[in-house]
Amino acid sequence: MHTISFALVFGVFGYFVQQVGMSPLPFEIAFILVGNLKCKAQQAFSAAGGDPWSRFISPVAVLFMALTVLVATQSLRRCLEK
């Protein structure tokens, strides 16, 4: 049952991606790479002592986090305006 619900969720998500006019390629690449990213994120989290706020100590890290949020919101806004 878990596999069927997983497929249905991604099917509905793919449908909405097509309706908005976005390319599904970035999502497919992210889906392939997410396993490696999850492993690295867990390693970084354990190396920081389990503190999730340790990523915001460095000003450079805060800058990159803010730029990531800015680019993601601008991209989403552009796609929704079309």
Neighbours of 76 (CB within 10 A): 12
Per-residue model confidence (pLDDT) at position 73: 93
pLDDT of residue 71: 93
pTM attached to this predicted model: 0.45
Q: Which pLDDT tens digit goes with each residue over 13-52? A: 888 888 888 887 887 888 787 778 778 878 877 877 777 7
pLDDT digits (tens, 9 = 90+) for 41-69: 788 778 777 777 777 788 998 899 999 99
Q: How far, in Å, CA of 16 to CA of 51, rounded?
A: 36
Q: What are the extents of the domains in the chain?
A: 1-50, 51-82
Are residues 18 and 24 in contact, defined by beta-carbon separation less than 8 angstroms? yes
